[in-house]
Amino acid sequence: MKTLIFICFLTVSAFWENPLQKKSKQDFDVQKITWNDLKDVHFKKKFNIDLAMFYLYPNFGPKVTMLNGKTVEIRGYTIPIDSEGNYVVSQNPNSMCYFCGKSGPESMIQLKFSSKQRYKVDEIRTFKGVLRLNATNVQELNYILEDAERVD
């Protein structure tokens, strides 16, 4: 009887998924990036016929293009962009005028959460998600973190 119980235990444990092993595999798939990694981009001013305005359109370099569709992790400042709970994570805090002066479109990532989130302005947080490059839709940022979730 003890032998039968032992064999059952071994069989079940062989197929049992260890949550710690799964987590380490997921963590292994996450690529930590810095704001310098996102600077491999050049912008060209083009006229948008639909909006009758000039906009900066990105030409992503090879380093950034390799990140497209990958799960990445980045640390920055949270900044709300509207009253509906939409946020960006920025290289620079809002209090330092993140959108003017030395910063460009490559210094912000639009966060797309699966559920509504609340953050204070200029909270320093780390987020992970799937990085999507946007070269055509001027209604969204050039860098978008889909399925975003807070890491810390």
CA nearest to 97, candidates 107, 83, 87: 107
Residue 17 DSSP one-character state? P
First to last CA, the chain: 49
Chain centroid to Cα 74, Å, comes to: 7
**Type of residue numbered 32:** K
| Sign, CA torsion 110/111/117/123 | negative
Question: What does the alpha-carbon distance between residue 25 and residue 97 come to, in Å, rounded to a whole number?
Answer: 38
Query: What digits encode the pLDDT tens for the residues 31-79?
Result: 999 999 999 999 999 999 999 999 999 999 999 999 999 999 999 999 9
pTM of the model: 0.79
